[in-house]
Amino acid sequence: MIVAEDIEIPAGSEVAPGYTVLRLGSRGSLFDVYEVWSVERHCRCAAKVLRPHRRDEPKGRRRLFREGRLLLGLSHPNIVRAYELRERPDPVLVMEALPGMTVQYWLEENGRLTTPNLLHLGEHLASAVTYLHRRRILHLDLKPGNLLVSGGLIRLIDFSLARAPGRGHPGLGTHIYLAPEQALGRTLGAPADVWGIGAVLWEAAAGRPPFEYPDDSDAYEQLIRRATSIRRERRLPAALADGIDACLEPEPRQRPTVRELAELFDSLL
């Protein structure tokens, strides 16, 4: 029996006028991303839509509208580009279709990154986040699955949780990558994304995340213990190891700034 959450838009159908579905690219709890053919651009694009059984949920529609409007105002080589936001009858966010794989997929298939590739990842991620923070935007969902390796560039994707600094909501984001203050719903600023950068680099260096899901799904390991020093996982240049460990300091004020991280990666490269 087919249940509502399993329904896909069939290939050959239009997800919106002028955009023909080629295949389902990825599926999340709220959204599907389809690879589509754009008649106007005569190329493949990516179309993000609400999953069929969640189309009437105001929360999802608000998130997709906010993400689309935000992305249409951004222009950076390490951030996915948005082309168009269709608001009726159902919201559709059309973005560039990037060949390649996520950092998460790369780690699963190939294991941890070499030191040069780790620095390359850090440099591109710090550049994208610096750009966002200068525009008072926090990403708040930095993780290997939201970083795409494409044509020698690391591209930051999925801005559905992005917002201005301010009051948080408990648990909003991806469980094991949340900064402590984000897990607790406290005020969020740039240090929350610095934590995300540290978590990504720790996982890319070690081949596994710095924290795990506890047996109690409402608990957070990052609220119970500090991240193990990356030095215990592998040998890295001392300055890089210190930088990764500093990003995962429980106290936000003790973490480096994104600018300091960018300078660190540049100096090591």
pLDDT at position 27, please?
87
pLDDT tens digits, residue range 191-237? 999 999 999 999 999 999 999 887 666 789 999 999 999 999 999 99
Q: Residue 105 and residue 107: Cα distance in Å, rounded?
A: 5
* The dihedral sign for the CA sequence 169, 32, 58, 135: positive
Q: What angle do CA 7, 10, 15 make, to 5 degrees?
A: 95
Tokens (6 digits) for 123: 């440099």
Higher pLDDT, 56 or 12: 12
Inter-helix orientation angle 258-268/238-247, to 10° = 160
H-type alpha helices, 81-114: 103-110
On the CB side of 20, how many CA atoms lie within 13 Å of its CA?
9
pLDDT tens digits, residue range 152-203? 899 999 999 999 999 999 888 899 999 999 999 999 999 999 999 999 999 9
* The dihedral sign for the CA sequence 183, 186, 188, 192: negative
Q: Which residues of 168-178 are buried (b: 16+ CB within 10 A; e: fewer)?
A: beeeebbbbbb
**Residue 141 a catalytic site member:** yes
Tokens (6 digits) for 248: 């995962």
The greatest distance separating any two alpha carbons of the chain, rounded to the nearest whole angstrom, comes to 57
Burial of residue 91, with CB atoms counted within 10 A of its CB: 0-12 exposed, 13-18 middle, 19 or more buried? buried
- 11 has a pLDDT exceeding 70: yes
Tokens (6 digits) for 96: 């560039």
List phi, psi (to 5°) of 19. -130, 105
Q: Which of 32, 141, 158, 193 is catalytic?
A: 141
Instruction: Walk me through the domains of the chain, giving residue ranges and CATH numbers.
Output: 4-96 (3.30.200.20), 101-268 (1.10.510.10)
Q: Are 142 and 177 in contact (CB under 8 A)?
A: yes
